[in-house]
A and B are shown apart, each in its own frame.
Chain A
Amino acid sequence: MTFLVDLLAATLRNATPLVYGTVGETYAERSGILNLGIEGTMYAGAFAGFVTAWATGSPLLGLGAAIAVGLGAGAVMALMTVTFGANQHVSGIGLTIALIGLSEFTNRLIFAGGELQRIEPMPTVNPFGELGGIGAIFDQYGLTWVAFLVVVPAAWWLLQRSSFGLEVRAVGENPEAADAAGVNVVRTRYLALMLGGALMAIGGAFITLALLGSFTLDIIAGRGWVCVALVIFGRWRIGRGVIGALIFSLVFSLQFRLRILPGFGELPFELLLALPYLVVIGALALSGRNVAYPGAYLKPYRRS
């Protein structure tokens, strides 16, 4: 019982950065831009959030700094792919290399390789604490509550029900038609990428500000790439992407706990760590056959 409660609590906790990242990437891709800058954006969000919270003593200011960095990263990606019409794969990888490099460079300048600095991690909130045993599932960080109860429904509503969401989907599906209908393609894609970038950066900052209370190198460790896979797994639907994030996180949290069980202890734990990645690839192989990509996916738009 405690094993199950513990597992479910960890699943929600570990899914949080993936939920922010997946929702952010969904906005980018629905507007027609594959943003491989996600790994770097999450990394820079994690670092900027931490260093600001460390310097000011305020995790909220840290979160604000991460959002600012995310907006900036999204704007750079938009400049590259929307304004210049540059190749999206290469631009995204370039952005990731530059942002990780810049974060590690600044980390080195500020902390000069000294001992690991810590901040007071954000507290957890548990409205169901009086339930006892099972209630521990809901002993979660504020950003986790916000992710599932605010960001996911709001992002879904904005994308599927608002006029802005309609414009995002239109420029991602058929930019010529959207343009002819009076939608500003450039502005819409900039906004979608910047909104997505801010969400990705919050996902990264969650790890330093809440989960760990510290910044270490390689802190994102491929979570951004996982989000890109989850978006395809979810077929560009926010709800399905979030379910994918929960499944990935469940496998991730499970392998972590399997290690201490007899029998599994014999296996090198790296093999179990690889399990979630293999599960995502397997899920893509099963569910991703001939999926309908957004119509203008990877295509820069030029008025002719």
Chain B
Amino acid sequence: MIPEFGQLALALALCLALVQGIVPLVGAALGRVEWMALARPAAAGQFVFVAIAFGVLVYAFLSDDFSVLFVAQHSNSALPVFYKATAAWGGHEGSMLLWIAVLAVWTMAVAAGSRSQPQEFASRVLGVLGIVSAGVIAFAFITSNPFTRLVPTPADGNDLNPLLQDPGMIFHPPTLYVGYVGMAVPFAFAVAALLTGRLDKDWARWTRPWTIVAWLFLTAGITLGSWWAYYELGWGGWWFWDPVENSSFMPWLMATALLHSLAVTERRGIFKSWTVLLAIAAFSLSLLGTFLTRAGVLISVHAFASDPTRGLFILGLLGLFSGGGLLLYAVRARHLEAEGGFKVMSRETFLLANNILLVIGAFVVLLGTLAPLIIEALGLGKISVGPPYFNLMFLLPTLPLVALIGVGMHTGWRTMPGDALVRRLRMPAIAAVVVGVIVPFVFFETASVLTVLAVSIALWVCVSSLLDPARRIVFRTGAPMTRGQVGMCLAHFGVGVFMLGATVASAYNFERDFSARPGEQIEAGGYEFVFNGVREVQGPNFVAAEGDIELRSDGELLSLLKPQVRTYQVQTQPMTEAAIDTNLARDVFVALGEPLGNDAWSIRLRVKPLITFLWLGAGLMALGGLVAITDRRYRVAARQTDRSPAQTAAGTA
């Protein structure tokens, strides 16, 4: 009976989402206060029923209810309890329910945080979120119901894909979804602004914190995914330009552009149309990402089951939401008037350049991701686009983008005399370039022009981001920094650290496969590896061949690496568990292959210098976002616009 309760809860959630979507929007159009007031209770009700549905699914997993098809396909009674719970999003149906649940949480947060905003506006925002939610719940209900029963009930389940039996599975998908789905919030704010005809500095101040939160989760989610693929799945790289990776990266690029465009709209009341378009584009790319991942139209490491009806349904939703948004924009955009102008030499210009370069980057990735679909649709053959395309084409807008960060940060709003800027940045820039040229040669002996350029730019951003904080902390001069400014410096410093890691790890990556007999010593990548053979070990639901490899440098033992090849009992596919020795300067990565005969085993060795900087940099970006949303002005702004201050105590959480 219990799974049917889940289904019923989902159906009720759909009804409430429709109420939340339709009644407040109509009420706002007709000026009916009591209709508008329905938005919050409907959202709360929807949240409760979605939570029940999600709870029921998790319960079905925990209680090994294999009469539910989705549970039977993705769980097994021998699966550790931890993974039983996370298996709830280990497949298509469950992850759509997670999508819905995350949107419900966002909706509740917006409902609570928008109490200080005019009712007409807030109810339109919640209304748009309700429509989005209704669309996605209908999708789940019609094409991917997680509560479908399986008759007859099997004795045991098919088990969770071994790749997903990993702590990364607990954090990566939910974090990514919070960011991904969160793009619906700036979209709803943009649509509400177009409907209301009010798009001013206040609007930007309301929208910006939500966008930052979504962005920082997206940043963290993508980083966790990349880290997971690298450390746990043993794929050995951190980014593959896989369609599924791209489909989370494109919304990230758009969200980053949106953040910067919102900064201009908030401060100066300009770039309004552009901001609205970016908000629509970011959410559209999130939906496109859902389509690419869920419809299985592209060849991908993530390739889930493919089902044309699902694809068509998501395409329909994509058409409805982005088409609707763009149509509204076309009708209403001429009401958006710039409230001021700016000179060429000003922060506005740099932020405009940032936006253009980010959009170019997103477009290049989009083109490479969709090219196989387009070419196949034209009947020109089946192709795939190799990573070299992405590496080259994405680098072209990224290098100037990152280089300009360092300048733009120190430029004033409206206008700034060029000579003052030059005087301020001359020494740091020269220092960054000199160090950037010297360092690669000192540590790695060789360097290409591109490496020197990228390292210089990375160091330049790091130095430039620290100028203001250093002046403030060390010399105690200059104005106190707001949390927003601290966050910005932190995030930009993170960009530099990330780029340093990415450049060095790619340029000086050592990677080779070897065959080794027990007792054999291999010299590779500046280290000695002593292979001591392989023994069998028993895990909870797998058996593994475990290699024993000494990592030595000039004869001195650094660590003992134990890579495994696991064979899971239910799904018999083998799984590589790499062993990694990490420190700040480099990672040494060892993966065990298979027996080659004559006692020999194949071994994959990699040395990746500075790769830790990559995760660190991405983490700093997300942390910068976190610091920025604690800025006083978002709380103050919420209180100022409110009629009764007492009401907002819990408002801006």
A binds B: no
B interface, CB within 8 angstroms of A: none
